A and B are shown apart, each in its own frame.
Chain A
Amino acid sequence: MPRRSLAFRLQLGFTLLVSAFLVVPVCMSITAGLTANYMQGVKSGLTLRWVQEVWRLYRETIFLSLAIAGSCLAANLILGVPAAYALARRPGRLTRLIEEALVLPVAIPGLATALALILTYGVYRPFRTSWTFILVGHVLFTLPFMVRSVVAVLASIDLRTLEESARSFGASFWQRFAGVVLPNCRGGILAGSLMVITLSIGEFNMTWMLHTPLTRTLPVGLADSYASMRREIGSAYTIVFFCRSVPLLVAMQMLARPRRQAGAHRPVESAP
């Protein structure tokens, strides 16, 4: 069947072109970050000098990003998971309204949310200048992803029957929550957690407005290095960012694969 194989080859070529568009600049920036002199190209030799320079200049941004991502995850687990359970237990108009409202910080540009936070709480200097100010923004932005991930899993299992049988054995509310509900939505919590960390580490639109010179996150540092440092340093810094996000993405894909087969998975959306 020569006709079909031509169509196949054309589509394959097109798809390869698209992936080249996405991957070639990544490879270029990795090379540029390891090259002694970007203007002269790779023949000027490979070096780790620029990566060391990034470590010296921007080390704190990496630590702060990790601290914020960790705290953001903790806040999501404490606030989001119980709320998701409550929302899944009582489907109704009010529940839908709450779910819709929680998505608003994702539907509205981060710039607007950041502006609103600054105009309302900016006068409280100790809060404004601490990293918790950024944390608040990140929690707002990531909560819907955790809540939806857990609600989706809870909706796909027969929660009522499970809980009824546990109750008939005399299990209290807390025993049921810890012994039946949490183990059953482990997958959703894990997927949501990976999403929350990935989004928090990469968030820029909101963070750029919320940060202060002493509370700079990784993407804020990146923007600074692109604007004011030589090309090699910006590239080396980008390598550091790739190293942070690759393991998260791999874990997310591994997690998504078996669940997609079960038909319970919705493609995830994240922030550019």
Chain B
Amino acid sequence: MKEQDRSYLILFVVPVLVFFTAFFLLPMARLVSIGASGPGGAATYVASLTAPRHLRALGSSLALSVVVTATTLVIAGVAGVFLQRHAFTGRSVLVAMLTFPLAFPGVVVGFMVIMLAGRQGLIGEVWQLATGSKLVFAYSMAGLFTGYLYFSIPRVILTIMAAAEKLDASLEEAARSLGAGPWAVLRDVLIPGLRPALVSAGAICFATSMGAFGTAFTLATEIEVLPMTIYTEFTLRANIAVAAALSIILGVITWAGLAVARTAAGSTVAAAA
């Protein structure tokens, strides 16, 4: 009877495996081999990465993602712990507002940045009233930073809130009653307790920022991030080998970031790029 179950179970997994092999594993293998089909063979990987333009794009992507991750963790950490630790009227409305943008595609996030900081944007208008000069930063690195913060904050806040809920609040009380100041409680109780959540949320945030394409696409900034470079190499320059090599490199970076964080946090982590 158990043996019969086994053959049914195999029957249950086979369709997924066939689909996955046909539409993911085979295409990925092809992408890897096309990446190595440039004039220099496998050296295309090295050549495409060391081209100054690509190296600059990789540099801005990495710098942007690291800064966005750090800023998001601080902002979402403060707001998330606050929301989990206090009960007050309007709290659930606030939580709903903070998680509403969770399902926005990158293009919509880009549009939100234009609303805030584009020509006729809110920040620009207020700035003009205050100082008399124009301020438009949607189409610069600051605009990208704003957009990446915008899509990172909601998902990190959710993770932090879930982790803070499991954290025993009496530990903080105990530390306080033993004479620890607010900073000592933060440093010795809260941050160590939230560490796994911070690491995994940070990894997801980093990987998502590295792979994000829609926001940069909408803002069409002059600063190139790696996904935009891949896109232009493929569509405008028809540089297929280089585009393939660069996307393999990008995939390895995001995957490795997640894998490292998973070993550090000891839980399964997935990112949405």
Contact = CB atoms under 8 A, between A and B. Distances in A.
A205 B214 contact: yes
Interface string B232-273: 001000001001100110110011001000000000101111
B107 A79 contact: no
A116 interface: yes
A105 to B, nearest CB: 6
A165 to B, nearest CB: 14
B26 interface: yes
B271 A107 contact: yes
A98 B18 CA distance: 12
Contact of A226 (B15, B107, B120, B271): B107
Contacts of B215: 272
B55 interface: no
A89 interface: yes
Interface residues of A, number: 89
Given A32-B115, A89-B9, A102-B16, A16 B94 contact: yes
A38 interface: yes
B245 to A, nearest CB: 11
A176 to B, nearest CB: 9
B223 interface: no
B79 interface: yes
Contacts of B140: none
A18 B79 contact: yes
B96 to A, nearest CB: 7
Given A86-B12, A272-B106, A14 B100 contact: no
Given A83-B16, A107-B270, A269-B271, A15 B79 contact: yes
Given A107-B271, A109-B250, A173-B4, A23 B230 contact: no
Contacts of A143: 16, 20
Most buried by B among A7, A86, A117, A241: A86
A192 interface: no
B75 interface: yes
Contact of B211 (A21, A38, A78, A110): A110
Tell me the dominant secondary structure on chain B's binding face. Answer: helix
Given A143-B16, A202-B104, A272 B271 contact: no
Interface string B185-227: 0000000000000000000100110111111011010000001
A202 to B, nearest CB: 4
Given A111-B230, A111-B231, A203-B105, A79 B15 contact: yes
B182 interface: yes
Interface string B81-103: 01100101000001011111111
Nearest to A3: B182
B100 A26 contact: yes
A24 B122 contact: yes
A271 B272 contact: yes
Interface of B: 1, 4-5, 8-10, 12-13, 15-17, 19-20, 23-28, 30-31, 34, 75, 78-79, 82-83, 86, 88, 94, 96-116, 120, 122, 149-151, 153-155, 158-159, 161-162, 165, 182, 204, 207-208, 210-215, 217-218, 220, 227, 230-231, 234, 240, 243-244, 247-248, 250-251, 254-255, 258, 268, 270-273
- The A contact surface, by secondary structure, is helix
B251 A109 contact: yes
Contacts of A196: none
Contacts of B155: 267, 269-270
Contact of A14 (B19, B79, B88, B120): B79
B247 A109 contact: yes
16 contacts: A18-B98, A22-B100, A29-B112, A82-B13, A107-B207, A107-B251, A112-B31, A116-B30, A140-B24, A173-B4, A204-B107, A223-B107, A226-B107, A267-B155, A271-B208, A271-B273
Given A101-B20, A107-B255, A115-B247, A267 B12 contact: no
Interface stretch (A44-52, A55-63, A183-191, A245-253): A245-253
Contact of A109 (B162, B213, B217, B218): B213
A102 to B, nearest CB: 7
B94 A15 contact: yes
A268 B162 CA distance: 11
B212 A205 contact: yes
A34 interface: no
A230 interface: no
Contact of A25 (B25, B27, B112): B112
